Structure 1
Amino acid sequence: MESLAVQTVNAIWWIVVVGIVGVGYHVYGRAVAEQWRMRRSLKVQGVKGPPPSIFNGNASEMQRIQSEAKHYSGDNIISHDYSSSLFPYFEHWRKQYGRIYTYSTGLKQHLYINHPEMVKELSQTNTLNLGRITHVTRRLKPILGSGITTSNGPHWAHQRRIIAHEFTHDKVKGMIGLMVESAMSMLSKWEEMVKRGGEMGCEIRVDEDLKDVSADVISRACFGSSFSKGKAIFSMLRDLLIAITRRSVFFRFNGFTEMLFESKKHGDVNIDELEKNLESSIWETVKEREMECVEAQKKDLLQLILEGAMHSCCDGSLWDKSAYKRFVVDNCKSIYFAGHESTAVSVSWCLMLLSLNPSWQIRIRDEILSSCKNGIPDAETIPNLKTVAMVIQETMRLYPPAPILAREAATDIKLGNLVVPKGVCIWTLIPALHRDPEIWGADANEFKPERFSEGISKACKYPQTYIPFGLGPRLCVGKNFAMMEVKVLVSLIVSKFSFTLSPKYQHSPCHRLLVEPQHGVVIRVSRL
C-alpha cells in the first residue's frame, strides 16, 4: 500500500510538471509566433534587419558586438562620439541596413529609427497609443514608480496636466533666486579650496558637488525642504540606480524564464528592500509637508500633486487611500530623480567642455559681467545670456541627458508610409542624430557653440532632430526648469573661476539611464 501511495504521488508530481511545462511552452510559443508576425509585417513594408535566432532574437549578437567594442576601445582619448562604445550594435546595423531597421530581443520586436523625416513624424504623432516601453518601465519601477515619467494612456495625461502647470516658463523664472541661493554654499566651498591652493589653485571633482546643489534646488523649489532633509532619499535613489543598471535596462534578453525568475538582488543590494525604504522616506516627507501646508498661503508642486491625487483617487463618495499614496509617492520619485540627476550631469559635461575650450569661458565671463550685476543672473538678465545658452545647447547636443528615445505601440500606428504593428518597441539614439554629419555638417563631432548663434532652427539641416529633452507630446515636462538651472549654475561658476581639465580626468562616458562621467569630472580651478 505504501509503495502504491508513493507511485501515485510521483505520478501526480510528473503530471503537474508536464502540465506546467506544456502551458509554459504554449504561452512562450504564442509569444514567439507573435514576434515573428510583427517582423514579417515590417519586412513586407521594406524594413530589413539582422536575422534573429528562435529563442533570444539578436540578443547574443548584441552582446558580442558590445564586448568587441569594449575590447578595442582606446585609452583616455577625449572623443565626444561615445555611441560607438556604449551602443555599438546600433551603428553596426545602421551601416548594414540603413537608418530604419528591425531587430529582436527574445520576446520583444524592435524598430530602430534614425531618419530625420521619421523622427519628425514620431514627434508630431499626438496619440495616447504611443507610450513608454512596458518592459523597461517595469524594470525602472523601483526608481520611478508609475508616475509621469513612466505611465501611459489617460493615467499619464492626467498626471501631466497636474505637474506641467508648475513648470511653465513664467513660474520657473520665479525660482531663479532660489537656484542662486542653493549654489552659494558650493561656490563658497570652492573659493576656500582655491584660496588654500594658492597660485596653483586646486583640483575639484565637480560632479558630486553639483548633484548636491541640484538636489537642494529641486527639494526647495518643489517640496519646500532643503537637501539636508532629503539627503537619505537621494542616496537611496542613487543606490537603486546603480543596482538596476548593472545589467542593461533597455537591451537585455526578454525571455519567459527571465520574467519568472529574475533576481531582485544585485550584489549586496536588495532592490525590494531599498525600494520599500525609499517609499517610506518619501511618504514621511509628504506627511510632514501636508501639516506645513495647512497654514501656507502659496502652493508648491507637492501641494498640487496632493490635490491632484485627491481628485483622481476619489470616485464619487469612495476614497481609495492606497491609490492616493501610490500616486503621490510615484510622482515624487520621478521629480526627485529627474530633477537632480539630469541637471547635475549636464552641468558636469558643460564644465568638462569649457575646460577644454577656455576661450568660451572668457566669452561667457564677458557677457555675464556686462549683463549681470555682481555677476549674479536674475529673471531680467538671464534672457540676455545668449553665449551661455549657445554653450549649453551645444553641450546637450554632444551629451544629451537621456541618450535614448523609446516608445511602444499600444495599437497599430502609422508613421509616414510605415504601419508599425501593435507591441513593437521604437528606438531612436539621440547622440547619433545629434552628431550626424548629414544633419550637422562635417564638424558634427566638434564642440562649436557658434552653430546655435541664430537659434536651433538655423543650427542644422533638420531642426526636428535636435531633441535633448525628447520630442512630441511627451517632451520633458521639466525642460524649462532644467535649462534655467543649468544657465544659473554655469553663469555663477564661470563668473567666479577659471578652470582647465585635470590630468587625473578619465574620459569614460557610461550609461545609467543618463550618460554620465563614470569617473567623475575633475577640473583644476584657479582664481580669476
Structure 2
Amino acid sequence: MEGAHWDALPLFLVAGFVSFALFYLYNILWLRPEKIRNKLRSQGIKGPSPSLFYGNILDMRRMVQGEKKIQKDGSRHLAAGYTSALFPYFMRWRKEYGPTFIYSTGSMQLLHVGHPDLVKEISICKSFDLGKPSYMQKERGALFGEGIITSNGAVWAHQRKIIAPEFFMDKIKHMVNVIVEATIPFLESWESLLKSEGGTREIVVDEDLRSFSADVLSRAFFGSSYAKGEEIFSRLRQLQKAMSRSSILIGIPGSRFLPTKNNRDIWRLDREIRSLILNVANERREGSLGSSKKDLLQSIIDGAGAIHAKPSTINGFIIDNCKSIYFAGHETTAITATWCLMLLASHPEWQARARAELLEVFQGRLPDADMLHGLKTLTMVIKETLRLYPPAALVTREAFQDMKLAGIYIPKGIILSVLISELHRDPEFWGPDADEFNPERFAHGISSACKSAHAYIPFGIGIRICAGQNFAMLELKIVLSLLLLKFSFSLSPRYIHSPAFRLTVEPEFGVPLIVKKL
C-alpha cells in the first residue's frame, strides 16, 4: 500500500500543477479582463466580444486583410484618409459602439478614446496613477527599454528633469547654426546628383532625409557626426521594421519569448544596439570623443551617475534613454519632412507661396532664429502636414489605480488609447474639408483651426508631451526652407500613395519626387 501511495504522489502533483496553471491562465485571460469589462459595460460603454486567448486580435487581423484586398493596387487618393485602411477595426467599431468603446488584445483591455473632451481630461491629469502602459517596456523593450518614452513615476520624472531642459527654447535657438551646417552637405549631395542629370532627376527622398536628421541629432546632442552613429541608426531602423511585424500580437502572453525568426532578429539587434551605444558612452566617459561641452549625451551620463545604482543599472539608464532619443529624435522628424515634401510637390501653389516668403525673409542669407520665427506660411504647411500625417499613430495611457475621467469610472489596468489620425481628420472639429490639405486653416493658430484644441495632438498630450517638439519644428523649418530655396519639387509618376503603419506612419513604398535645381 505504501509503494502505491508514493507512486501516485508524482501524478497527483503533476495534476495539481496543471490545474493551477490552467486556472492561472483562465484568470489572466478571462476572469480578470471580464471583471474590468463589466465595470465599463455597467456605464454603458460597449465593444466587440473578445475570444478567450486572442481577445479581438483575430477580428482585427481579418479586417486589415480585407481592407488590403479592397486596396489591392496599393494606391489611394491623396485626399483620402488612411485611418480606415490602416485601422479599419477602429472605424467599424466606432460606427457600432460610438467614439468610446472597449476592445481587447490578448489579456490587455483597451478603452478607445475618440472624443476631445476625454482627451482633455487625460491631458490635464498629472497623477502618476496614469502613465505609459506597462506593456511598452515589455513588448517594446528592445526599442525603448526603460527610457523616458516608457518609464513612469519617479524614474520618469528624473529622466524628464535631465532631458527636457536640453530642448528648452533658450538652448534650441542656439542650435540653428549646427542644423544649417548639417543641411549644407545634404544640399550639396543633391546638387551633385542633379548636375550629372542636366539639373533635373528623380530622387526617393525618404532615406536621404533620415540620414540628414540622424546627422543633425548626432551633431546637436551627441557631439559627433552621422558617421559616428550610422551603425546605431541603421540597426534601429531594422529593429523598428522587425517590431512592427509583431505589433498586432501585443497582449498575447509569452508571444515575445517564442523563438520565432522575427523574435530572434529583435533579440540580436537589441544586443548589437546596446553594445554600440555603450561604446559611445564609454568613449565619452573616457574623454576620447573630443567634446568638452555639456551636451545631451553628457547630461544623460551625469544623470545616470546621480541615481547611485550598480553599474548595470547605470549603463541601462544611459542605453535606454539614448535609444529613445536616437529613434524618436530623428525618425519622426524625417518622416514629417518626407510627408511635407510630398504635399508641397502635390500642391505647387503652396510650394510657390512658401518659397516667395522665404525669398522675402532670408534675402539671400542663411537663416537665423529670428528669420525662422517669421516664416508664417511654412509654419502653417508644417502644422497641416502634422495634422494629416502625424508620425505617431496612438497616444496610450494605463490606469495604475482606479480613477474617474470626464465622468467615466476608469478601472485599474485599463489602457486608454487615442487614435491621433481619427481626431485630426474628424469633420465635426475640422469641417467638411478635414481630409484636404489646407494650411490656411492654421493662419490664426490652432485655436481657430478647429473647434477643440484637444483634437490636434501631433506631439502627444499633457505632462508626457514630446520634450523635443521645439527642436523638431526648428529642424523642419531649416531643412525645408533651404531645400525650397535650392530646388522645386513635383510628384514622380512612380509615386504610390500608400501610408503604412510601422510603429510610425510612413510611406509604404517611399516618396520619389522629381527634383529640379532652381
So what's the TM-score if we normalise by structure 1? Answer: 0.93
Q: 1:35 aligns with which of 29, 33, 36?
A: 33
Question: Structure 1 residues 500, 8: closer, same or farther in 2, change over 3 A?
Answer: farther
- Listed one character per residue, the Cα deviations across residues 314-373 of structure 1 (whole Å, up to 9, x for unaligned) are 1xxxx5211111111110111111111111000000000001001111111111111114
1:118 aligns with 2:118: yes
Question: 1:63, CA displacement in angstroms?
Answer: 1.7
- Cα contact 1:142–1:271 (8 A) shared by 2: yes
AA partner of residue 306 (structure 1):
I
List aligned pairs for 1:266-285, cutoff 5 A.
266=262, 270-285=265-280
Matched, 1:262 2:258: yes
1:427 is paired with a residue whose SS is: strand
Amino acid at match of 2:437: F
The Cα offsets for residues 15-56 of structure 1, whole Å up to 9 and x where unpaired, read as 554344222212112222111111110011111111222333
Q: Does 1:382 align with 2:382?
A: no
Which residue, 465, 475, 492 being the options, matches 1:475?
465
User: d(CA) in 2 for partners of 1:158 and 1:275?
Assistant: 24
Checking the alignment, whether the CA contact within 8 Å between 2:67 and 2:85 is kept in structure 1 is yes
Deviation of residue 281 (structure 1)? 0.7
Q: How does 1:375-414 map to 2 (within 5 A)?
A: 376-414=366-404
Measured after TM superposition, the shift of residue 505 of structure 1 is: 1.2
Structure 1 unaligned segments of length 5 or more: list them. Answer: none
Counterpart in the other structure of 1:158: 158
Partner Cα separation in structure 1 for residue 113 and residue 452 of structure 2: 15
Equivalent runs, 1:298-337 vs 2, <5 Å:
298-312=293-307, 314=308, 319-337=309-327
How far residue 12 of structure 1 moved from its aligned partner, in angstroms, is 6.9
Instruction: Name the structure 2 match of 1:182.
Output: 182
Extract unaligned runs of 5+ from structure 2: none
Shift of 1:393: 0.1
Matched AA of 1:49: G
SS in 2 for 1:255: coil
Q: Give 2:299's aligned amino acid.
A: L
Tell me by how many angstroms 1:74 deviates. 5.6
Structure 1 contact 56–253 (Cα < 8 Å) conserved = no
SS in 1 for 2:398: strand
Native 8 Å contact 1:369 1:375 kept in 2: no
Q: CA deviation at 1:289?
A: 1.5
SS of the residue 2:513 aligns to: strand
Equivalent position amino acid for 1:365 in 2: R
Instruction: Note the 1:358-369 alignment, pairs <5 A.
Output: 358-369=348-359
Q: AA paired with 1:58?
A: N
Percent identical pairs in the alignment equals 46
The verdict on how the C-alpha distance between 1:8 and 1:183 changes in structure 2, with shifts beyond 3 A counting, is farther
Alpha-carbon deviations, 1:401-437, whole Å to 9, x = none?
A: 1011111111112111001100001101000100000
- Go from structure 1 to structure 2 and tell me whether the alpha carbon gap of 1:504 and 1:130 turns closer, same or farther (over 3 Å shift): same
After TM superposition, the structure 1 = structure 2 runs for residues 419-430 of structure 1, keeping only pairs within 5 Å, are 419-430=409-420
Counterpart CA distance in 2 for 1:24 and 1:343 is 46
1:55 pairs with 47, 53, 56, which one? 53
Alignment equivalent of 1:500, drawn from 479, 490, 500: 490
- Give distance in 2, aligned partners of 1:321 and 1:340: 28
Specify which of 68, 71, 83 is matched with residue 70 of structure 1: 68
Choose 394-403 or 509-518, whichever is displaced more. 509-518
Alignment-derived partner of residue 449 in structure 1: 439
1:205 maps to a residue whose letter is: V
Give the corresponding residue for 1:464: 454
Are residue 351 (structure 1) and residue 315 (structure 2) matched? no
Which residue number corresponds to residue 22 of structure 1? 19
> Cα deviation per residue 1:409-468 (whole Å; 9 max; x = unaligned)?
111121110011000011010001000000000000000000000011110111121000
**What is the match of residue 513 of structure 1?**
503
- The alpha carbon displacement at 1:264 in A equals 5.6
Report how many residues are paired. 513
Partner of 1:270, secondary structure, is helix
